[in-house]
Amino acid sequence: MRTKSANIALLITCDLILIAPVILIIMDYFAHPTAVIDENCTIGKGTRIWHFSHIMSHSTIGENCNIGQNVVVSPGVILGNNIKVQNNVSVYTGVICEDDVFLGPSMVFTNVFNPRSAVSRKEEYRKTIVRKGASIGANATIVCGYEIGEYAFIGAGAVITKPVPAYALMVGNPAKQTGWMSKNGHKLNFNNEGIAFCPETNEKYILKDKMVTAAL
């Protein structure tokens, strides 16, 4: 992963006729011509940034990410590798997403708990952490200051107002846990011994003390 300035190779040629230098820009990520990429941001190899999106200074995007149309990534945001950000998502300062996170269309992050237009609260931004492999559905809202556990699954339109355990399935407003999900996104049905298997991969999961772990 390299900073934007490090991703640019400059080939400058000049002669008696050519007054201005010719600059060839080579980047190891793709940005649509309508995207705005500020200076001093970090974008990983293989990442794709689509129409009308804005990547702001001092943000970090990992490798092989897909940033959809009309997305804003604010200063200080950290996005890991292989993250998919669908259209119309604003990722505000204070948000950290680990690898393999899915952010559905028009889902909403926040970073101030009690906003007022007339009151500046830039020093009060709350951190929101989305752990590895978690999925957040379309139009869901994440109230700031909480952690979403690894491989958690936030249903479309859900409103998250508290921490979310790993592998938890959350739906509704305010969101309530209605079950558990596998890494591949299938609902887990635990037996009386607290054992369940993913119907797609047959991976084993263990439910103990209201927590789910994948068996080694």
pLDDT, mean of each 10-residue run, the chain (216 residues): 42 37 66 96 97 98 98 98 98 98 98 96 96 98 98 98 98 98 98 97 97 94
The reply to whether 211 falls in a domain is no
CB 158 within 8 A of CB 107: no
Q: What is the pLDDT of residue 25?
A: 52
Write b or e for each residue in 193-205: b if 16 or more Cβ atoms lie within 10 A of its Cβ, otherwise e. eeebbbeeeebeb
The reply to whether 178 falls in a domain is yes
Q: How many CB atoms lie within 10 A of CB 4?
A: 18
The reply to whether 4 falls in a domain is no
Rounded Cα gap, residues 101 and 62, in angstroms: 11
The reply to whether 192 falls in a domain is no
The reply to whether 191 falls in a domain is no
Q: What is the pLDDT of residue 21?
A: 53
Question: Which residues span the domain enclosing 45?
Answer: 29-186
Q: What is the pLDDT of residue 216?
A: 80
The reply to whether 124 falls in a domain is yes
Rounded Cα gap, residues 112 and 107, in angstroms: 16
Q: How many CB atoms lie within 10 A of CB 119?
A: 9
The amino acid sitting at 209 is D
CB 107 within 8 A of CB 138: yes
The reply to whether 142 falls in a domain is yes
Predicted structure pTM score: 0.88
Q: Tell me the CATH number at 80.
A: 2.160.10.10
- When divided into structural domains, the chain yields a total of 1
Q: What are 54's strand-pairing partners?
A: 36, 72
The residue count for the chain: 216
The reply to whether 162 falls in a domain is yes
